[in-house]
Structure 1
Amino acid sequence: MFSKSLTYLLAMASLTYAMPTPELEQRAVQYKLYTGDGTNWPAQTAWASFDTMWANNQAILSSSCAQFGQANNSPTEIAEILSAIKSVSSSTGVDTRFILAITMQESGGCVRAPTSYGGVLNPGLMQDHNGIHNCNSNQQAQNPCPAAQITGMITDGTAGTASGDGLKQCLAQSGVTGARASYIAARIYNTGSYAAGADLGKPKYGTSCYASDIANRLLGWAGAATPCNLPNPS
């Protein structure tokens, strides 16, 4: 359990990020659809800073659990997501911005997101591959969600699990470097595979808009619902 003083400090840290400066707010962008193999997609130099992405997503982080019929994230839980992303990024070498983008795409950053099923169980903040950490198992939600579970969810999605890959492995499988590696890794994370040179918006299965959504999130877009209307595979 957190002491009252530590809980207060974490809450204050979250509130600091919840009040972006005008400079950070200016980096919010309109959604742009990207198709193709990622070759001419935005370079990393065009990505928003992590602080800007974090600030732009505060409204969603504070309200996204309602869509699942669960209590919304508390300031302390939001601060713990931030801490987990930074810690796991440091230990895995995966960019904090990519971790945040996938987290927002998969669950809206809701610590009590339910487990989905796509051939395997996909639990938690990052809807990872059969991970053991979550705060909503068998419709039994934990409130508050313990810090260890939050860190575990981010770890499972980024470093991988005993039975499936995380972002680190997907980046390695992309076969390329730079920003394009993240776009291809996003496709792999969503569908489990990628054929070199294929259109990232035309997967054999999965969510067609996934990679384009991630590219936009990395640029600073922070919409709750994507305006992308690419048809999903039937």
Structure 2
Amino acid sequence: MASFSMFVLPVTLLAQAVFAVPAPQGVPNTSPTSTTSSSPSYATIPAGCPTAATGNLVCYQCDTSFPSDDTWLSWECLAALNRQTMVKGNDGTVDGPNEADDVLNAIQVTAQAANIDSRIILAQMMQESVGFVRAGEGDNGASYGLFQVQLPPGVAANCDGTAVNTCPYSTILEMVQDGVFGHAGTSTPQAPGLGYWMTAEGGDVARALRGYNTGSVIDPNDLCDIVATNPSTGKKYFAGTQTYVSDVANRLTGANAGLAHNYSCNLDIDPDTYVPASCPAARL
């Protein structure tokens, strides 16, 4: 299976990722326990919502350029728009209608428990897996599930290999919880969930996304600057996906609702020659 994930933790950053996960956004570090979905269907796009992604991608390279939440589409619009992608699929990545509705419900349940805007969780999930509940071994077998968390086989919740419309809501909910809360009790090298990064970065969405993707925020100003250096060899490398933060931003604004790899910035892809952008100082 093709790699779905943008979430790549290099060996030199794994040590930074293994620590206790604080309560995200000031709520207890507990996760929702519902095992059944009572989700409404977003099969019909509500009036006033775009019927398709605009495709007009914008490069949000600087922390200060990340679009404010009043420019994002509403939850109802984003849910309906991205549900179209989930049930239509790409290269065989098809969710059944019930599965797609369960994914959206699980996001809302988890978002409420984590005190995080459900739109952020939805956009990040689409970036990681296009909402495909059977997303399996990304990152050469290191990542699994809707949020492509890095856990061993059998530990990460996933429905890889199951038939369409057979992935249970309980597993879908667990996949979303893994992405937001992290996997409680694991001792394996794994970056914590989005909730950790939202707390660690003071609620700054852009920097939280950067931390999730790379295991640290290398440059808080230029969030496409993810150049790291291997301390053993001195060789420079990219610690994640350069355009990850900008790509998620384009999902929030409705510019993209499709492929996981949309690359919204045209950047130097050589870590040895990459020059950080002249960004304003990061937001406090």
Q: Is the structural similarity TM-score above 0.5?
A: yes
1:39 & 1:221 partners in 2: Cα distance?
A: 19
Q: What residue is the counterpart of 1:124 in the other structure?
A: 145
Query: What is the deviation of 1:207?
Result: 0.7
Query: What is the deviation of 1:27?
Result: 9.0
Give the TM-score taking structure 1 as reference length.
Answer: 0.81
Q: Which moved more, 1:19-28 or 1:45-54?
A: 19-28
Amino acid at match of 1:217: R
Contact map agreement 1:208 1:231 (CA 8 A) in 2: no
Amino acid at match of 2:110: V
2:270 & 2:120 partners in 1: Cα distance?
A: 25
Structure 1 residue aligned with 2:128, among 91, 101, 106?
Answer: 106
Q: What residue is the counterpart of 2:174 in the other structure?
A: 152
Contact map agreement 1:135 1:149 (CA 8 A) in 2: yes
Contact map agreement 1:94 1:167 (CA 8 A) in 2: no
Contact map agreement 1:202 1:233 (CA 8 A) in 2: no
Amino acid at match of 2:127: Q
Query: What is the deviation of 1:196?
Result: 4.9
Structure showing greater Rg = 2
Gaps of 5+ in 2: 1-35, 228-238, 272-284
Q: 1 or 2 for the larger relative contact order (CA 8 Å, sep ≥6)?
A: 2
2:102 & 2:83 partners in 1: Cα distance?
A: 13
Amino acid at match of 2:75: F
Give the TM-score taking structure 2 as reference length.
Answer: 0.67
> After TM superposition, which residue ranges in structure 1, 4 or more long, deviate above 6 angstroms?
none
Matched, 1:57 2:82: yes
After superposition, the C-alpha distances for 1:121-177 in whole angstroms (9 at most, x for unaligned) are 3210111232520011xxx43541111110000000011113530010011222x34
Contact map agreement 1:57 1:222 (CA 8 A) in 2: no
Q: Which moved more, 1:164-173 or 1:190-199?
A: 190-199
Gaps of 5+ in 1: 1-5
Q: What residue is the counterpart of 1:186 in the other structure?
A: 209
Aligned length: 212
